Structure 1
Amino acid sequence: MLSLVSRVWTAFDPPTVQKKSDAIRFGILGAAKTAPLSLITPAKSHPEVVVQAISARDRTRAEAFAKKYGIPDVRHSYQEILDDPNIDAIYIPLPNSLHFEWAVRAIRAGKHVLLEKPSVSNAIEANILFNLPELSQPNAPVLLEAFHNRFHPAVHLFRSFINPADVVHVHTDSMVPWLMTAKGNIEFNYNLSGGSMMMLGTYNFGMLRMIFDDEPEECLTCDTSIFGDGIHDKCDYDFKAEFRFPNGGIGEATTTMRGPILWKPSEARVTTKEVVVLDNTLPPAQEKHRIDVKDSYVIRNKEDHQPVRKWVEPKSHNAYTYKEAGGEFADLPGEDWWISFRYELEEFVNRVKGRQTQYWVGGDDSANQMKMIDMAYEKSGLGLRPTSSFR
């Protein structure tokens, strides 16, 4: 218990390290509530990252934010940050509808971009953003959609248990308590590309795509709940969607942003095809099958495949570091108190510095992610999130 408390405490109050002279200097666009957890806190323990500047629509708010989190510079506008030659990278935690415009502007200004998920509002914007000519030039800026959870060692250990071709069904769910989301928040503003699929369900979709290691062929169903007050009618506050993948497997995603007060961690439950396991202790007429991931076993008669006995052998695995996760990433750096944002920042810095990255969310991946979100919104009848007029 003490080690758990220590690990959690250090994760949210990490040691401040000496910064290198060539550290990457970040500018933040918007005094967003996600910025401390996503960048400011992880940056404390990274010797090659400095959070240098911030700008917000309300300068007073930006100044208060900078004072609270120890950010040296406050700028009058987002563009002023992009124009600063001393700023190397931009973190964009703006409302979804502004991601496209400011990511494009930042890339054209030659800045590296850490872009909050979802990367943009729809696949139309994604196809433009991730195919910008500036990104294919020598010494092109680095652009990363900040799917922080996909960088954590536990996720890669989980993936190592799964053969995507054998996956039959996946159930994913996520939630936030209703106290954390009010009807008037940006999460439910259609013009700001709100909706539970955009704000939270995109994690579910990303996990489904990782587990199947493929793109969905079709959204079979997508049921949503809306406030129905004539103002928020195009924004879902919860949804349940089912997708068919190329191997015939079904992926299910459920999300609510109006959940119960008692928060429940997100989960992914995977069911795979039965695999025959050699067991010489069984009579010749029977064979032992294993269902991977869930570690469920069944003894069946070979002739008619009727079950004789079933049981489950529960197991749990900890992987706070890549060393604990083992496998191909076992030598990667990390501490047991690093959270997913810290692992993500490590790889972002490696890519900017021209070093090898062991895991990355590329432009094609992000574009396909938006196609999946669009697929679900079209099936739901709510329609795509609005496309920016900026070019």
Structure 2
Amino acid sequence: MVLKIGILGAARVAPMAIVEPAARREDVEIVAIAAARPGKAEAFARAHNIPRFYRSYEDVIADSEVDVIYNALPPHSHARFSILALEAGKHVLCEKPFAMSGPEARTMVAAGRRCGRRIIEAFHDRYHPIFLYLLELVASGRLGRISSLKGVFNHSIGPDGGEFRHIPEFGGGALMDLGCYPVHWCRSLLNEEPSIVAARCKMSDTGVDEEMNAWLRFPSGVTAEIETRMSPSWDMHARFEVAAEHGTVILINSLLPHRGHSVLETINGKFREFTIAGGTTFDYQLGAIVTAIRSGSPMPTEGTDPIGNMDTIDAIYQAAGVMRDGVEQLIS
């Protein structure tokens, strides 16, 4: 059976995230796309050999041939159209950040359960052999007890051209767009939900957080620092540091490892630097989705996981004193 996918939004990430991985498989096909801007969906469809294009997102969702919706819209449109897709009997791969808030994430996950369909957050790097290696290393006990983590993702994003990451009501901000990754790295490695010790941010002229630092504590006693910046002079600086009883591990660019990455590992005084062969993170994510839909097996980026990530993001904003219009504040 070929899994047929419809895309909401002709986003810049869509070719790399879903179109190209689908083209490398025989059991997946992109069959439709919609975009709000006139001519955008048609141009995208022609460029990527997609048979149908629509002006309305609802039309893609209503397409009887579509099995899975890839929601690549800005965050403020994730809940509305993902829930519409679930109610239409489609599975959903929803771009990060999953929602505008933890409560909204709960509504989306509940809709998936009610409709008997999967709704998965697109943390593609979680499925790559690099992150799986780190999980296996920690589980093996070779590192010993973890003491601290530091997750960094800095990448310059300017406000030009109506960039939604600089629009508060669209779900913009460095923490939402970039920082959601290091938050997810820490939570995924420890399989725990943190409390926020402190947070501070630098706001942009557009009213979103341009830079954010946060300090977290997990129930096991592990501390973590999150750093994320979309201010000028950064270019895909992604780094995850794990300090433990017997040594350290640093992942450099585990986010897009096919563009170059390193694993720096020191255990019991022995250092080695290496890479881990593999395809793109998006290929592994799509493969995991196909397997999960066919077998019914759970995925690590669905269910309570996107809720936990959004709850943590909400709490960091609260600790930094950032009040977001229309977003429920959970921490008193």
**What's the TM-score, normalizing by structure 1?**
0.75
Selected match of 2:272 from 295, 301, 315: 315
Conservation of the 8 A alpha-carbon contact between 1:26 and 1:53: yes
Runs of 4+ aligned residues of structure 1 deviating over 6 Å after TM superposition are: none
- In 1, the alpha carbon distance for the partners of 2:236 and 2:78 equals 29
Alignment partner, residue 379 of structure 1: 319
Selected match of 2:177 from 199, 207, 226: 199
Alignment partner, residue 353 of structure 1: 294
- In 2, the alpha carbon distance for the partners of 1:356 and 1:130 equals 16
Selected match of 2:31 from 52, 69, 92: 52
Q: 1:89 deviation in Å?
A: 1.1
Conservation of the 8 A alpha-carbon contact between 2:82 and 2:94: yes
Q: 1:221 deviation in Å?
A: 1.4
- In 1, the alpha carbon distance for the partners of 2:99 and 2:247 equals 38
Alignment of 1:250-269 (within 5 A): 250-260=223-233, 263-269=235-241
Conservation of the 8 A alpha-carbon contact between 1:197 and 1:239: yes
Selected match of 1:214 from 192, 195, 212: 192
Alignment partner, residue 153 of structure 1: 129
1:142 aligns with 2:118: yes
- In 1, the alpha carbon distance for the partners of 2:238 and 2:267 equals 22
Alignment of 1:116-135 (within 5 A): 116-132=95-111, 135=113
Unaligned 5+ segments in structure 2 are 250-264
Q: 1:198 deviation in Å?
A: 0.6
Letter in 2 for 1:211: L
Letter in 2 for 1:115: C
Alignment partner, residue 339 of structure 1: 280
Alignment partner, residue 291 of structure 1: 247
Conservation of the 8 A alpha-carbon contact between 2:96 and 2:123: yes
- In 1, the alpha carbon distance for the partners of 2:25 and 2:71 equals 19
**Distance of aligned partners of 1:368 and 1:356 in 2 relative to their CA distance in 1, 3 Å threshold:** closer
**Distance of aligned partners of 1:353 and 1:224 in 2 relative to their CA distance in 1, 3 Å threshold:** same
Q: 1:111 deviation in Å?
A: 0.6
Root-mean-square deviation (CA, aligned residues, Å) is: 2.0
Q: 1:264 deviation in Å?
A: 4.9
Alignment partner, residue 304 of structure 1: none
SS of 1:345 mapped into structure 2: helix
SS of 1:237 mapped into structure 2: strand
Conservation of the 8 A alpha-carbon contact between 1:56 and 1:76: yes
Conservation of the 8 A alpha-carbon contact between 2:158 and 2:232: no
1:83 aligns with 2:62: yes
Q: 1:368 deviation in Å?
A: 0.7
Alignment partner, residue 215 of structure 2: 242
- In 2, the alpha carbon distance for the partners of 1:354 and 1:248 equals 37
Q: 1:222 deviation in Å?
A: 1.1
**Distance of aligned partners of 1:260 and 1:60 in 2 relative to their CA distance in 1, 3 Å threshold:** same
1:68 aligns with 2:68: no
- In 2, the alpha carbon distance for the partners of 1:374 and 1:168 equals 25
Q: 1:195 deviation in Å?
A: 0.6
SS of 2:272 mapped into structure 1: coil
**Distance of aligned partners of 1:56 and 1:93 in 2 relative to their CA distance in 1, 3 Å threshold:** same
- In 1, the alpha carbon distance for the partners of 2:236 and 2:94 equals 27
Conservation of the 8 A alpha-carbon contact between 1:162 and 1:292: no
Conservation of the 8 A alpha-carbon contact between 2:241 and 2:248: no
Conservation of the 8 A alpha-carbon contact between 1:347 and 1:360: no
**Distance of aligned partners of 1:154 and 1:83 in 2 relative to their CA distance in 1, 3 Å threshold:** same
Unaligned 5+ segments in structure 1 are 1-21, 274-289, 298-311, 321-335
- In 2, the alpha carbon distance for the partners of 1:246 and 1:203 equals 20
Conservation of the 8 A alpha-carbon contact between 1:224 and 1:239: yes
Letter in 2 for 1:340: T
Conservation of the 8 A alpha-carbon contact between 1:122 and 1:385: no
**What's the TM-score, normalizing by structure 2?**
0.87
Alignment partner, residue 278 of structure 1: none
- In 2, the alpha carbon distance for the partners of 1:46 and 1:355 equals 20
- In 2, the alpha carbon distance for the partners of 1:247 and 1:368 equals 17
Alignment partner, residue 37 of structure 1: 16
- In 2, the alpha carbon distance for the partners of 1:372 and 1:70 equals 39
CA deviations 1:93-134 (Å, max 9, x no partner) are 0011000100100000001111101111100101111112x5
CA deviations 1:297-334 (Å, max 9, x no partner) are 5xxxxxxxxxxxxxx421134322xxxxxxxxxxxxxx
1:185 aligns with 2:166: no
Q: 1:52 deviation in Å?
A: 0.6
**Distance of aligned partners of 1:292 and 1:196 in 2 relative to their CA distance in 1, 3 Å threshold:** closer
SS of 2:295 mapped into structure 1: coil
- In 1, the alpha carbon distance for the partners of 2:83 and 2:302 equals 16
